[in-house]
Amino acid sequence: MAMTAATPRTKTEDDITNEVLRRFDATSDPRLRQIMQSLVTHLHAFVRDVALTEAEWMAGIEFLTATGHKSTGNRQEFILLSDTLGVSALVNILASHPTESTTPSLLGPFFRENAPMLKTGDTIAPRDKGEAIEMVGKVTDKAGKPIAGALIDIWQTGSDGLYDIQGDKPEVMDLRGRFLTEKDGTYRIRTALPIGYGIPMDGPVGKMLTAGSREGRRPAHVHFLVKAQGYEPLITHVFLEGDQCLTSDAVFGVKDELVSRVEGHDEAVMADGKRASGPWHVMTYDFQMKPGTGVVPQPLLSAAE
């Protein structure tokens, strides 16, 4: 019986790459085959490009192991790694269609379902002692047609730079709420002026940033999830103009079209007619939504619950 030639056991650097690629040839899922073969090609090219040593390779393995150990149900260190390497932002850009709607962004780790249902003009920060800010604007389609009854889910840090789940009572929802737009598509939300904050630096990702002489800071921003019947849900966040970290966001989320001007005021009465306890601010931002299947928002009846 004729013997087939065995695969050579002594391989050059090109031989090992080609053999790994060949072993994925039979992958039944064409998309998985494409992803894995491209990954192998680029990963092997990286190893060659930097002439990776065995000690460096082992350090990389230990770093990834530590990243896994740091991840918990409330913290995903691998997502933080993806964020700080710009991968999350790149995936988001490739998946977005900014000419059809407001530029989207990723949901982020601090979103919570079933935030309190509130009425136009209500505050989401009743316990925060920071300066007040009114967020006003309109939700429309790309042609400017107002979208009435759009559900706006909003969440942010307080004047201390922390989200509610990072505080001493994480079970209590704060600095978040849900609102329905008026008949003309407008919304008006009272809250506390958010500030920039630092990403977690006590894990392997923080050590990586420190070793790379990078800061782990994010500029002040507010998250929005907007839903309306007949439209694709919009996930985005709006940044406050003037923040010193706009050009150095640790997770590369800032886009010019998502930066909003903030007007400062010192009058005794705010724009909604309520008395001010100190300096206050107004941020105006309009959202455009893309037509689609959409999601029907929760009824306003839950506002009194």
Average pLDDT value for residue range 91-103: 84
Report the alpha-carbon distance of residue 6 to residue 118 in Å, rounded.
71
Over 90: is that where the pLDDT of 237 sits? yes
Q: Pull the structure tokens for residue 216.
A: 């782990």
Q: How confident is the model over 266-294, as a mean pLDDT?
A: 85
Structure tokens at 171: 């079970």
Give 13's pLDDT tier (boundaries 50, 70, 90).
Answer: confident
Number of H helices, E strands in the chain: 6, 14
- In which domain, by residue range, is 104 found? 82-304
Q: Return d(Cα 275, Cα 280) in angstroms, integer.
A: 10
* Shared-domain flag, residues 275 and 148: yes
Same-domain status, 124 and 210: yes
Tell me what pLDDT residue 294 has.
Answer: 59
pLDDT in tens, 114-172: 999 999 999 999 999 899 999 999 999 999 999 999 999 999 999 999 998 888 888 88
Residue 110 lies in a domain: yes
Average pLDDT value for the chain: 90
Domain count for the chain, please give it.
Answer: 2
Alpha-carbon distance of 46 to 52, in angstroms, equals 8
Rg, C-alpha atoms of the chain: 24
Mean of pLDDT values over 13-39: 96
pLDDT of residue 175 exceeding 80: yes
Q: Is residue 5 situated within a structural domain?
A: no
Specify the long-range contacts of residues 78-83, CB closer than 8 Å, at least 24 apart.
79/109, 80/199, 80/200, 80/203, 80/205, 81/204, 81/205, 81/208, 83/199, 83/250, 83/251, 83/252
Q: Which of 3, 33, 4, 5 is nearest to 20 (CA)?
A: 33
Looking only at the bridges linking them, the beta strands covering 132-141 and 234-240 are unpaired
User: What pLDDT is attached to residue 59?
Assistant: 98
Q: What is the DSSP letter of 148?
A: T
- Helical (H) or strand (E) element with 277: none
Q: What is the pLDDT of residue 304?
A: 25
Q: Is there a single domain that holds both residue 108 and residue 165? A: yes
- State yes or no: pLDDT of 271 exceeds 90: no
Which one is predicted more confidently, 186 or 269?
186
Residue 99 CB contacts under 8 Å (≥ 6 apart), including other chains? none
The answer to whether position 66 is within a domain reads no
User: Does the structure show a pLDDT above 60 at 240?
Assistant: yes
d(CA 209, CA 276): 41
Distance CA 198, CA 261 (A): 22
Q: Are residues 154 and 289 in the same domain?
A: yes
